Amino acid sequence: MYERFYNLRERPFSLSPDPAYLYPSRVHKEALSYLRYGIEGHAGFIVLTGEIGSGKTTLLQAVLSGLDQQTSVSRLVDTMLDAHELIEAIMLDFGLDPGEGRSTPYLHRDLARFLVEQRAAGRLALLVIDEAQNLSLAALEQVRMLSNLETEKSKLIQIALVGQPSLRDMLGRPELEQLRQRVTVSYHLNPLDAAETSAYINYRLSRAAIGAPIEFSRDVTDLIHLHGAGIPRKINIIADAVLLFGYGEDRKVITVDLAQDVVGELEATGVIGSPTPIHSSRAMSSPSMPPPIIPSVVPTLTATEEELAAREQRLALRERQLAEQQRILFEEYRLLRSLREGREARQEQGQTVVPWGPRTEQAPERRTIMIAAPPPPPSPTETVRSKDSVWARVWRSLFEPFRAVVED
């Protein structure tokens, strides 16, 4: 909607995870290093956690897009499954047919055969479970059983668990002691600080720019950081709304006042919550008990999308109305020009031309063809109005504002 106004190739703050817009902040670079080390080094279980909207999925997209063709990947995003359904989902994502009504031991046997074939062909099998905090304890135990599939020297399958901070709480339970001991790489994504938020916003603007990019001042980005709590998805929501509001008000420069108005409206409509303390935790290299996680207020994506969609529809309607007005003005100008050219042509041929302006008594007699019954006799009011001819009304309402343009 606002891309052309700000010379952007596309919307820089889309909520869809796009690895092309992954900002290499300190925490994201560290997380990438941990993930690549865990996958390439066959390090056993990998655990990546972070708040909602912290960029976990974007990191995964970046890592998976960088894998070579010698890696078979099964990625699960629907984790509301029991233990048996989880094995079936893994097989389906690897391209295997689990069959119908088969027991878990048979599924394990077929999956193990597939993994052995992959290793014999020199290929790596990677299982990525997104939103792993939704798995039941039985499903997590089933995942641990898969890690027992190994050769004398290495595991047959590499497993990465990605989820919200509650996943770390689950792994800290006594029932999952055996699984926790197999976690060799664990990292928690911290929120961005104020300086990183400023760099993050302007980095995405520059990536989407055509020519000289628009920039947000540090005052504006500090305000966005305060209300976005350093969470990339919250930052995207606020920054996208700021550009949308700026476009609606024809403002090329984003000011703090404009950003404050946007934040106020987003809070009033419940799109974002009030500023909350930013929780910070350190990356874990060992599977020790995770530190307590402070829950944060997270915006509702449905409300955000509906609010922005409604604003885009209003702005699209405004654009269509302006375009229609411009089209009418152009048609009126073209009509006036053709009338003037015709008048000049008749003058050159020696024909009598009626002067410009409203025609009254000199107007030529017109004939009217009656299609239906004749109209009733005019009322006294209509008799008075008839003195002001149609040409006079057309002249005043249409031609008079453009007379100077045509004469020029």
pLDDT per residue as tens digits for the range 177-201: 999 988 989 999 999 999 999 999 9
- What are the residue ranges of CATH 1.10.8 in the chain? 194-268
pLDDT band at 403 (very low <50, low <70, confident <90, very high): low
What percent of the chain is predicted at pLDDT more than 70?
73
- Given a cut of 60, whether residue 354 has pLDDT beyond it is no
Query: Span 308-332, mean pLDDT?
Result: 70
Residue with tokens 């004469």: 407
- Given a cut of 90, whether residue 206 has pLDDT beyond it is yes
183-189: strand order across its sheet: 71-76, 124-129, 158-163, 45-50, 183-189
What's the mean pLDDT when you consider all of the chain?
79
Stronger pLDDT, 368 or 246, i.e. the higher one: 246
Q: Rounded to whole angstroms, how far apart are CA atoms 303 and 84?
A: 35
Stronger pLDDT, 84 or 278, i.e. the higher one: 84
In this prediction, residue 219 carries a pLDDT of 95
pLDDT digits (tens, 9 = 90+) for 22-78: 998 899 999 999 998 888 877 778 999 999 999 998 998 899 888 888 889 999 988
- Given a cut of 90, whether residue 15 has pLDDT beyond it is no
What percent of the chain is predicted at pLDDT more than 90?
42
- The reported pTM is 0.65
Q: Rounded to whole angstroms, how far apart are CA atoms 159 and 44?
A: 7
Q: Rounded to whole angstroms, how far apart are CA atoms 200 and 221?
A: 9
Name, in order, each residue with C-beta under 8 angstroms of 292's C-beta and a sequence gap of 6 or more.
none
- What are the residue ranges of CATH 3.40.50.300 in the chain? 26-191+281-291
In this prediction, residue 384 carries a pLDDT of 43
Domain 26-191+281-291 has CATH 3.30.70.980: no
- Given a cut of 80, whether residue 176 has pLDDT beyond it is yes
pLDDT band at 87 (very low <50, low <70, confident <90, very high): very high
Least confident of 49-58, 310-319, 349-358: 349-358
Q: Work out the burial of residue 267: count CB atoms within 10 Å of its CB; fewer than 13 is exposed, 13-18 middle, 19 or more buried.
A: middle
- Given a cut of 50, whether residue 296 has pLDDT beyond it is no
Look up the CATH number of domain 194-268.
Answer: 1.10.8
- Given a cut of 60, whether residue 265 has pLDDT beyond it is yes
Q: What angle do CA 263, 266, 269 make, to 5 degrees?
A: 150
**Token pair for 215:** 């920039």
- Given a cut of 90, whether residue 394 has pLDDT beyond it is no
pLDDT band at 228 (very low <50, low <70, confident <90, very high): very high
Q: Rounded to whole angstroms, how far apart are CA atoms 3 and 14?
A: 12
Alpha-carbon torsion, ordered 356, 362, 365, 371, to 10 deg: 60
Stronger pLDDT, 155 or 217, i.e. the higher one: 217
**Token pair for 67:** 């894998």
Give the 3-state DSSP-derived string for the chain, with helices as H, strands as E and coil as C.
Answer: CCCCCCCECCCCCCCCCCHHHCCCCHHHHHHHHHHHHHHHCCCCEEEEEECCCCCHHHHHHHHHHCCCCCEEEEEECCCCCCHHHHHHHHHHHCCCCCCCCCCHHHHHHHHHHHHHHHHHCCCEEEEEECCHHHCCHHHHHHHHHHCCCECCCCECCEEEEEECHHHHHHHCCHHHHHHHHCEEEEEEECCCCHHHHHHHHHHHHHHHECCCCCCCCHHHHHHHHHHHCCCHHHHHHHHHHHHHHHHHCCCCCCCHHHHHHHHHHHHHCCCCCCCCCCCCCCCCCCCCCCCCCCCCCCCCHHHHHHHHHHHHHHHHHHHHHHHHHHHHHHHHHHHHHHHHHHHHHHHHCCCCCCCCCCCCCCCCCCCCCCCCCCCCCCCHHHHHHHCCCHHHHHHHHHHHHHHHHHHC
Query: Span 288-316, mean pLDDT?
Result: 50
Stronger pLDDT, 356 or 126, i.e. the higher one: 126
Query: Span 122-145, mean pLDDT?
Result: 91
